[in-house]
Structure 1
Amino acid sequence: MNLFRLAGDFTHLLSIVVLFLKIRTTKSCAGISLKTQELYVLVFITRYLDLFTKYYSFYNTVMKLIFIGTTGSIVWYMRYHKVVKQTYNKDQDTFRHYFLVLICILLALLIHHEFTVIEVLWTFSLYLEAVAILPQLVLLQRSRNIDNLTGNYVFLLGAYRALYIINWIYRYFTEIHKIRWIPWVSGLVQTALYADFFYYYMKSWKNHEMLKLPA
């Protein structure tokens, strides 16, 4: 495992930890999209089904379990915690995320490496992860003023994906010497969705202001 992959993994983990701690400590999920979190749970469950069929390493197994467990816990807090669920912006979190699921299922059935259950579900998880952030970005766009922890969470998610792209480039020249079209294109789409957010995040950080997105 190279440094870029490792940095990407821990940046991804840090993004989830930042969000989890925000909810635990403030007892608020204001500005957080439950629909995005539910999509991520679906992403991790369908991607990590190989936990039951293959063993790669202790690190690999632990990270997969942490991603599933922490994201599932966030969804639980937002849905069932008697204090946290009252702060959920349900009236603004209205993105029809089930359309994303249906589209990604169809794409996975049509475009995949191998027509097996594990492979199709793994491909589905890549497609879905690429667009899972959309409900969150739409919610931020509607709420306009964004607290630092929520902004840091979204920024770290985008940084994780950017680091993974660097990892793929590094591996292309040092290991695999071939393009893996499905994860590469999915990753590029996902990173592109963060471009506008990155611009305003860096602008607010430079000016020491609260992050605000345009209407």
Structure 2
Amino acid sequence: MNLFRLAGDMTHLLSIVVLLLKIHTIKNCAGISLKTQELYALVFVARYLDLFTDFVSLYNFVMKIIFLSTSMTIVWYMRRHKLVRRTYDKEQDTFRHYFLVLPCLLLALVIHKKFTFLEVAWTFSIYLEAVAIFPQLVLLQRTRNIDNLTGNYVFLLGAYRALYIVNWAYRYMTEKHYVQWIPWISGAVQTALYADFFYYYIHSWKNNVKLHLPA
């Protein structure tokens, strides 16, 4: 594992810590899209179906457990915890996220590396992760004023994917025959979705003002 991959994993983990800090400690999920969190839970379930069949390393195993358990915990908090549920922006978080699932599944059935159940499920998770942030970005666009923890959470998610792209570029230059078109293209699409948010996040940070997205 290279430094860029490790930095990407730690940034991803930090984004979840920031979100759990907001939800568990403050008992507030305002500005957080339940639709996006449900999509991420589905992403991790589909991706880690091999959890108990293919052991890569202790690090890999532990990270899979963490991402699975935390994604389901976040969904549980937003759906079932009385105090947290009250702060959920249900009226604003109306993006029909299930419209993203079927196209990603169909695409995985058509474009994959190998036609096996686990491989198609893994490919589906890659496609779905690329667009899972979309309901969250739509919610932020509607609410416009964004608190610091929510802004930091979304920024860290985008930074994680950007670091993975650097990781792929590094591996392409240092490893023979390393080609992964499906993650590369999906990752590029996912990072592009964050471009507008990155611009306003950095602008607010540089000018020390509250993050605000234009209508």
TM bucket (normalised to shorter chain) is over 0.9
Please give the alpha-carbon distance, in whole angstroms, between the structure 1 residues aligned to 2:52 and 2:168: 26
**Corresponding position of 2:103:** 103
Distance 1:105 1:96 in 2: 16
**Over aligned residue pairs, what C-alpha RMSD do you find?**
0.7
Superposition pairs for residues 29-178 of structure 1, below 5 Å?
A: 29-178=29-178
Alignment: residue pair count: 215
Q: What letter corresponds to residue 129 of structure 1 in structure 2?
A: E
CA deviation profile, 1:119-157 (whole Å, cap 9, x unmatched) = 000000000000000000000000000000000000000
In the TM superposition, what whole-angstrom CA distance separates every residue of 1:152-175 from its partner, at most 9, and x where no partner exists?
Answer: 000000000000000000001111
C-alpha deviations, 1:48-100, integer Å up to 9, x for none? 11112110010000001000111111100000001100110000000010010
For residues 186 and 52 of structure 2, what CA distance do their matches in structure 1 show?
Answer: 25
Structure 2, unmatched stretches of 5+, are none
Q: Is the 8 A contact 1:171 1:177 kept in 2?
A: no
**Runs of 5+ consecutive residues of structure 1 not aligned to the other structure:** none
**Per-residue deviation at 1:178?**
3.6
Q: How does 1:173-184 map to 2 (within 5 A)?
A: 173-184=173-184
Distance 1:92 1:124, change over 3 A: same
Which stretches of structure 1, 4 residues or more, deviate above 4 A after TM superposition?
Answer: none
- SS in structure 1 of the partner of residue 94 of structure 2: coil
Other-structure match for 1:3: 3
TM-score by length of 2: 0.99
Letter matched to residue 67 of structure 2: F
Alpha-carbon distance in 1 for matches of 2:172, 2:131: 25
Q: What TM-score does the superposition give when structure 1 sets the normalisation length? A: 0.99
1:24 maps to 24
Whole-angstrom CA distance in 1 between matches of 2:25 and 2:176: 44
Of 195-204 and 173-182, the range deviating more from structure 2:
173-182
